[in-house]
Structures are given as structure tokens and as C-alpha cells.
Structure 1
Amino acid sequence: MHLEIKENHKVAKKRDSFFMYFCVLTGNLLTLSLGASMSWTSPVLTKLSSNNTEINPLGRPITAAEVSMLAGIPTFTSTFGLLITPKFSDIFGRKNFLLFCGVLMFLSGIGISFSGGNIALMIITRCLFSFTEAYSVTSIYIAEITEDHNRGKWGCSLGIFQQMGHLFGYVIGPFFSIKYFSLIMTAPTLIFLVFFSMVPETPIYLLIKGKENECKNSLRKLRSNKSEEEIELELKNMKENLKKKGRKGNIVDLFKKRENVLALVFSFLPLLIKFSSGVTVIYAFLAPFFDQAGTSFLTGDMVAILIAVFKVTSYVLSSLAIEKFGRRNLFLISTTGTALSLFFIGVYFFLQSINSSLLPYLQWLPLTGLILTVSFFGIGLGPVPHLLTAELPPVELRATMAALVLSSGYVVVFVFTSLYPFVSEMYGNEWCVWWFSLNCAVGTILMYFFLPETKGKSLDEIQDMLKNYSELKIR
């Protein structure tokens, strides 16, 4: 159970210790590898679609049904992983469970590398790789080793490492065979296993299990820049806050109070809009998606690398701007910009489908549209829904609501990713992209009237805001 600790007594804010950097960065190596696995399909599908048997281990072009299964089924299995992994981390500990995830991801990555031309084995091993959903437990680990004044900063590191993983996959994938690309993608998990064994269990988890001495030793390592008195004060605050926490909430409790229902709705809708925007689907098929645009000055793989650079940059900018401009404003700017960018990409594909004479003058449009799409997506649609999922629920229901909301979102991703190859083949890319654009536009209107702003509010103030929520528009 992930519990947040509030400071009951004044604790001095100091610069983070080197060991804190070591723990956070080492833990995020799994996030890096998971991010690379999410972009794995983009360069790999280009090879599997080729008639060249030297780069295609299947010996034939992959079918649309196989593309759907290879991209969609691992996303679906990660939904189940998301539902159960937090519970296992409660039983076995954050550190031990993450080490288990690292072992499973490493072995699965080896399996992907040596699956050869067996598409079924490739799908199974990718499912095992994504099933761990280490991202969710890593976020709990980081939240429980950090302090109130730096939790937001280190929490943003997960999103940045995930985007760096995407970039890593796009950069490495086009230049290596599927076998060696998969091995390189798996390498961070091996480094993780070596160094993460040196980090401590989270102090909060140890205290929950009644291991006060081990909790204090963990704090000493994590707060090596603090005095013994400051560590004792933090431990005292933790113990007092743990006594105040009631029983852990369950799914039924989500619907017992109006503010809980509102928190659930305002957590789920932004995430639904994010995944319905189709940007996650476009990421998975980025190289073949751009190749179908028919522009000649850059290959799909090169575009994927360029897009990933803009995506990482936009996520970093979002982490710097979100406290100044607010969650709501960034989200609305993001959905509006993403809707317009996708609309014009759809226009290009439509003109291509009718062999318009305007195409030679619009060769710049697909690349420009994709850059704008991922840039607008990264400043709001990407990070804000996950932040709202952490802020809006009451503490005792946060883990339950996050599991429910995120797993539901993954079902949406599974449906969109699985259907995209068939729909684009039957009706054309333009109708898929226009549908994504329409989802963003509708999302903008809904969130403009209903989404509250949480910037600058404490968790208690957010709960009071939800209890008193009555106006259609809250600024």
C-alpha cells in the first residue's frame, strides 16, 4: 500500500544526496527498457514487412492479423499486470518485486531475441516482458523514498525515462537486426539487476511491516546529507501519519461518496482522451505510418528518431511549466493542438488517396504534422492524466483507483492498437487520423467545461474542492 507522508513537524529542506540520485536513476533503468519495448514495433514491423529474407526472419511479409496480435496482445496482458503488481509489491516489498521484474524482463528479452521466425514465440515473450508493468511499482518506490519537497521532481523522471526509452528504441532499431536490437533493448535490465541490489527497501514499506530499525537504516542511507536528529524527526512524522491512516480502500468505496465518484471521473476521462487521441497507436506504427505518407526525403525510421527527440523535449518542458501554467491549461492547449495537427495529417492522406495534384507542394506536411502532434501531446495529454490520477483520489483509495483507471486505459490502447491495421487497410489512414482528431476535439470541449484545476492545492484542498464541486466550469 502506497502511503503519502505529510510533515507534521518542520523538516529542513536540503539538496538531494548522491545516493538518492543513484537510487532513482537505477530504478528508472526498467522504465527505460519498457519505453524501448513500446517503440520496438516501429522499426521491427518495417523489417517484418519486407520481402528481403536477410532482414526478415519470417521469410515472408507479416500479415495484418499478425501485426495486430504482435502490437495489441502485449498491451492487453500488461493490463492484468497493472492490476496485480502493486499487490505483489505489498507482499514481497518494492525492492524485491522490482528485482523479480528485472529478472523476468531480462529472460523475456532474451526470448524475444532468439524467437527467430516464430511469430507465436515472439508474441508470447513480448507479453511476458510487458506483463510485469514495472512502471507502476517503480513510481511507488520513488514516491516512498523521496521527500515532500522533491517528490514531484523525481516523479516526473519516470515519464522522461520512458520517453528516452522510446528514443533509444527508435535510434537503435533501424540499424540492427531484430535479434540484436532486442538484446540491446534488454541490456538496461541487466545493469538494473547489478546495481539495484545495492539500494535499500523503502522506509515506508519497512515501517508498515513493523521493521523500525531497518526503516531507520534505510533513511540513513537515503538521507546521508542529514543529521541523526533530522532522521529521527522524519521517522517520527512517518509513524504519526501511519497511525492516522484508516483501512485500505477497495473498489466499492469508490462509489460511496460523491467526491470519490468525481475523482474517478476526472481521473479516467483525461486518460481516455489521451489514449483515444491515437498518438500511442501512431507511436507503435510510426515508421510504417510515415512510409505510407509517400514522402521521399526521409525514411520512416529516420522520422521516428526525429519525432522521439521532440517527444522527450516536450515532456521535459512540461515538467518545467506545469506548476506555472497549471494542469488544466496545459491539457486544453495540448488537446487543441493535437486535434488540429492530426486533422491536417488526415488531409494529406486524403489528398494522397485521390492522387491530388497538390501533393508535390505538401511533402512537408506529414513530418511537420507529426512533429506538432507529438509536441502538443507531450506538453499536456501525455503527462497530465497520470498526474491527475495521483492527485485527485483520497489517499486510502489512490492505489485502487489508479489500478482501475490505468487498466481501463490499457484496454482502450489494446482495442485501438489491434483494430488500427485492419481499419487503415480497409478505409485508409485518413479516416483513422480524423477519428483521432475528433476524439481530441470532443475531449477539449468536455474538459473545458468540467475539468477542475489542482495547481497549488494541497491534497486536502483538492478533496474539499471535489466535495463542493457544483459549477460547470472551474478555473
Structure 2
Amino acid sequence: MPDQPASSSSVDVEEGSLDTPSPPEIPEKNGRPKQLHRIETVPDIKRDMSGITTQYIATGIVNLGAFAAGACIAWSSAALPLLTTEPLEDDNISAEANVTHRFTLTESEASWTASLLCLGALFGAVPTGLISESFGRKKTLLYLALPLVVSWTLIASTPNAYGLYVGRFVGGVAVGAFSVGIPPYVEDIAEKQLLPTLANFYHVHLTCGILFGYIVGMILNPSWLSFLCASVPVGFFVAFIFLPESPVYLMSQGKYNEAKAALRYYRGIDNDVESEFKALKENLRNIAKVTFKELFSTKATVKALIVSFSLMIFQQMSGIYPVLFYARKIFKTFSITMNLPSAAIILGFCLVSSTYFSTMLLKQIKRRILLVLSFTMMSISLGLLATYYHLRASNIWENNPWVPLFCLCLFVSVYATGVGPIPWLMLREIFPKNVTRRATAITAGVHWFLAFGATKLYQNLVDQVKPGWTLWYFAIICMFGAIFVYIFVPETKGKSVEEIHRELDGQKSHVHIIELKSVSTT
């Protein structure tokens, strides 16, 4: 009797197969073809939320750390005008909004308050790679929420400038650590075809955090502004705690069962991960770890470091961080009569939209072309702004608030489409895989050191040579950056690391001659 239902059902299936076509086969994923069996009227939500969607959501959650870093950057623009000794002169702000604070800052103290974030980031960026390799990618990123919360608490409650210094420095440590710790985690969880898109989430979230900081800056109270910014790392901690550890890190620690479970989480429980798991295991076995000293052992790697350092020098000496840190103050310098927080929000919106737009440009246009165009347009926009300042100071041109606002929006927009993301993107393309994370740590340290210097010295330049000549200095740096890229920076789009290194060594033509001779002799 038990055999009869089975036989009858098999007959039904065979008869049905003669009348109805077989269900379509799902394309292969991870080396195994799959077939979907479900009732057509019921949406397959579980399958919809697996694989690609899970990777997008997880990448968005981990990049809340970048969002928090952006809020730290924007805080200076919103809070420092409220804390400095200069009174607010915006007619659109009511007198009742100019609340009395516990203390005021001098211009020198304000510049230290802004720039110490970048100095703290220097001390957070360099050791993060080593810490994450021994402590874990997830734990390292997760516990970075703590110094950020401590930082915002200090900033909101301090009775003097020294509390601001400590708070900004501590927050900077987390900001620098996020810049080095987030990309490797995303690289570990992303499928190869999704990595270029998911890697750009960091820059998009960073600029969204800056826009968020400009928006909440409409609250004319530094303490409430700090508490609102503190909500971001809290949200990051609560959301990120539910995600698994990086599969690659678990595998490097010999936790193969946990690594396979984490990989299955990011690929979907109905997908086969065996082939990818074996490939990752083989890669870990073949990749030899290098020390910081060994980065300088080969000529090609040294040249790659020089290119990376130089791009960061021109990126930071372009003046982007002074513009973002002192946005409201710059608007006031150019007598922009519209509501200052609204002008900062317009600037932030241009930054976000251009960063998002750059994700599409990077898929279509070569890196060198984008860099040269970006540096050139940045130089032109700063030159126009400097010219406008001199003409207005000489009473040759009447005040027009839309001219400086347009120039600054153009400056941040072209920065976001090329000079901003490409130096970070090229780190993955110009170095071998076993060297990338060490090179990223050093390059990030150079980045934040230069950001500290540019942000701190900006006020000194303004005091010594006035804003007009300061802008000309930044414009000239951008033009030299375009020339440097055109002459020295290799194209990396669509090329392997070996091809790029042969080009850096000047062996490209020599290799082709050898290949040609070998073909002719055979």
C-alpha cells in the first residue's frame, strides 16, 4: 500500500510532463544550476532577499560608519560660527536664536577644533588594518561606535576649548579607522561582479553624512547638534551587531564552519557556496602576508606608492577639506546674503549627487581622463572665485551671492566625480592583493596628515594673504595635479596588476619585443 501513492504520483508527473512544459531553469550561480519550484501566485520574498539584496543591505549598514564620519566633518561648518567670538551677521536668523554659550573660541582655537579631527584620524587609520587582522573585522568596526559617542558627549558638555580638542581628536580616531576598516569588510562580503558598485558606497555615505551635518546645523545650538550627530554611531552599532563576521577573516582564523555559514548568509541559503569557499581557501593559502618594510622591496611597488602619495597630496592641497570644514564661514566671507545653513545644504546636496553620479562615470570613463578633467575644473572654479573676490574687493563688481555659491558648488561637484574617489579606487587596482591593505593603511595616514595640515593652515593663509590669494594657491595646486596625472599616473581601468607594474617599470614595450621574438623563433 505505501508504494501505490508513490507510483500514482510518478505517473501523474509523467503525464503532466507531456502536456505542460517544464519550468524554466534558473541561470547558474556559484557553479550549480538551480530550478525554482513554487506556486506562481505567491511572491518568493525569501529568494528576493537573498544574495544580491543581502549584500546591498549589509554594505549600507556597515557604511553607516562612513555616514557618521561625514557628520563629524560637517560639524565644524555648523558649530564653529556659533562658538567663535565673531557675532552672527545673518539677518535671516532671529536674535532669539543667538543663544548664549558657556564659552567662546578665538579664531586660532576654532582652527584647532576643526583640524584635530584629521590629526586623530591619522592615529586611527594606520593601525586599524593590523588590529582588524587579529581582533576581527566586525569587532573592530563595531567598537568604533564607542569613541564616537564619547566624542560627541565631550563636545556637547565641555565647559572649555580643551574639551573640544579632546572630543574632536577622539572622534577623529574613529573616523580614520572607518576609512581603513570599512572597505576590506565590504570587499570580503561582496561578489566579484558587485564589488565595484558596493565599494563606492563608502564615498556616497560619507557625503550623505556631510549633508546630514549641514541639515541638522540649522539647529543653532552646538549641544543639540552634537547629540543629534551622536545618534548616528548608536544606530550603526545597533544595526551592525546583527551582521556576521567577515567570511575571509573567519577562514583566516581556521573557523571554516563559521566562515561557510557567513558566506552562505551573504550568498543566500539556497545557493551553493562550495566552489567559492574552496577558491577563497586557496587564495588565503597562496597569498603571502607582507610587512610594511617589504612594501618598499620592489621598484614597481615603490613607484605605485609614490603615485598614491602624490594623488593624496594634490587631493588634499586642493582645499577640499577647508571648504567642507568652513563652509558657512566662507559663505560669510563672500557676503552670501541668503540663509547660511541653506547655502551649506545646497553645497552638501551638490556633493552627494555628484558622488552618486561618479559611480556611473567610473564604469564608462578612464581614470586618467576623469582625474585630469576633475583637477582642471577645480582649478578653474577656484580661479573664478578668487577673481570674483578681487573684483568685489576693488568695487569693480557689485556683490552677487550666486556667483560664489555657483563656484563652490562646481568645485565640490567636480571633486566628487574624480579627485575624491579615484585615488582610493586605484589602491585596489595598482597594488597586488597581498600588499593592498598595508598600502591602504600608509596612504590613508598620508591622506589624514595632509588633511590636518591643510585645514589648520587655511586660517593662517587667510590671515596672511587674504582669501583671494589663498584661493589662487589652491587653484595652482589643482593645475599642477592635472599635469602630474597626465605625465606620471598610469591608466588602471581594465588592466591587470601585472600590466600596470610593467608600465610603472617602463617595461611595456620591452615585453612586447620579447613576445614577438619568441613567436618568430617558434
TM-score for both structures, normalised by structure 2? 0.83
Residue 358 (structure 1) aligned to one of 397, 402, 406: 397
Query: Residue 104 of structure 1: CA displacement?
Result: 2.1
Residue 47 (structure 1) aligned to one of 82, 95, 107: 82
Match of 2:317 in 1: 276
Q: Which amino acid aligns with 1:104?
A: P
Q: Which moved more, 1:334-343 or 1:126-135?
A: 126-135
Query: Residue 10 of structure 1: CA displacement?
Result: 5.5
Residues 335-358 of structure 1: CA deviation (Å, up to 9, x unaligned):
00000000111112222333x231
Match of 2:456 in 1: 418
Match of 1:400 in 2: 438
SS at match of 2:290: coil
Contact 2:119–2:172 (CA under 8 A) maintained in structure 1 = no
Query: Residue 33 of structure 1: CA displacement?
Result: 0.9
Query: Residue 378 of structure 1: CA displacement?
Result: 1.0
Residues 204-258 of structure 1: CA deviation (Å, up to 9, x unaligned):
000000000110111121111642xx21111111111111112x22232232212
Match of 2:409 in 1: 371
Taking a change above 3 Å as real, the CA distance of residues 223 and 57 of structure 1, as seen in their structure-2 partners, is same
Taking a change above 3 Å as real, the CA distance of residues 11 and 324 of structure 1, as seen in their structure-2 partners, is farther
1:433 equivalent to 2:471? Answer yes
Structure 2 CA distance, aligned partners of 1:357 and 1:467?
Answer: 53
Structure 2 CA distance, aligned partners of 1:383 and 1:293?
Answer: 29
Query: Residue 121 of structure 1: CA displacement?
Result: 0.6
Query: Residue 177 of structure 1: CA displacement?
Result: 1.2
Match of 1:236 in 2: 278
Residues 104-159 of structure 1: CA deviation (Å, up to 9, x unaligned):
212222222222x4211112012111102223211111111111111111100000
SS at match of 2:217: helix
Q: Which moved more, 1:281-290 or 1:258-267?
A: 258-267
Instruction: Specify the structure having the higher radius of gyration (Cα).
Output: 2
Structure 2 CA distance, aligned partners of 1:124 and 1:200?
Answer: 33
Residues 338-397 of structure 1: CA deviation (Å, up to 9, x unaligned):
00000111112222333x23124x443211111111111111011111111221112222
Residue 88 (structure 1) aligned to one of 131, 136, 159: 131
Contact 2:390–2:468 (CA under 8 A) maintained in structure 1 = yes
1:211 equivalent to 2:285? Answer no
Taking a change above 3 Å as real, the CA distance of residues 58 and 250 of structure 1, as seen in their structure-2 partners, is same
1:201 equivalent to 2:240? Answer no
Match of 2:333 in 1: 292
Match of 1:29 in 2: 64
Match of 1:5 in 2: none
1:347 equivalent to 2:391? Answer no
Contact 1:28–1:161 (CA under 8 A) maintained in structure 2 = yes
SS at match of 1:175: coil
Residues 4-59 of structure 1: CA deviation (Å, up to 9, x unaligned):
xxxxx868899844332332111111111111111110011111134479535244
Match of 2:196 in 1: 152
Residues 388-407 of structure 1: CA deviation (Å, up to 9, x unaligned):
12211122221221111221
Match of 1:4 in 2: none
Residue 174 (structure 1) aligned to one of 218, 230, 241: 218
Q: Which amino acid aligns with 2:122?
A: T
Percent identical = 27
Contact 1:17–1:225 (CA under 8 A) maintained in structure 2 = no
Structure 1 CA distance, aligned partners of 2:293 and 2:182?
Answer: 26
Match of 1:254 in 2: 295
Match of 2:118 in 1: 75
Q: Which amino acid aligns with 2:213?
A: G
Contact 2:155–2:163 (CA under 8 A) maintained in structure 1 = yes
Query: Residue 469 of structure 1: CA displacement?
Result: 5.2
Query: Residue 410 of structure 1: CA displacement?
Result: 1.4
Contact 2:82–2:220 (CA under 8 A) maintained in structure 1 = no
Residues 286-337 of structure 1: CA deviation (Å, up to 9, x unaligned):
10111110132x1332211101101111111111111211111111110000
Q: Which amino acid aligns with 2:83?
A: L
Q: Which amino acid aligns with 1:440?
A: C
Residues 175-208 of structure 1: CA deviation (Å, up to 9, x unaligned):
2411111111111211121121110000000000
What runs of 5+ residues in structure 1 fail to find an aligned partner? 1-8
SS at match of 1:294: coil
Taking a change above 3 Å as real, the CA distance of residues 469 and 70 of structure 1, as seen in their structure-2 partners, is farther
1:265 equivalent to 2:306? Answer yes
Structure 1 CA distance, aligned partners of 2:33 and 2:196?
Answer: 17
SS at match of 1:40: helix
Taking a change above 3 Å as real, the CA distance of residues 342 and 238 of structure 1, as seen in their structure-2 partners, is same
Query: Residue 96 of structure 1: CA displacement?
Result: 0.9
Q: Which amino acid aligns with 1:237?
A: A
Structure 1 CA distance, aligned partners of 2:297 and 2:180?
Answer: 26
Structure 2 CA distance, aligned partners of 1:250 and 1:352?
Answer: 55
What RMSD over aligned residues (CA atoms) do the two structures have, in Å?
2.1
Structure 2 CA distance, aligned partners of 1:237 and 1:436?
Answer: 47
SS at match of 1:428: helix
Residue 232 (structure 2) aligned to one of 181, 184, 188: 188
TM-score for both structures, normalised by structure 1? 0.91
Q: Which amino acid aligns with 1:30?
A: G
Query: Residue 470 of structure 1: CA displacement?
Result: 6.9
Structure 2 CA distance, aligned partners of 1:12 and 1:462?
Answer: 36
Structure 2 CA distance, aligned partners of 1:67 and 1:207?
Answer: 47
Q: How many residues align?
A: 455
Taking a change above 3 Å as real, the CA distance of residues 176 and 68 of structure 1, as seen in their structure-2 partners, is closer
Contact 1:291–1:299 (CA under 8 A) maintained in structure 2 = no
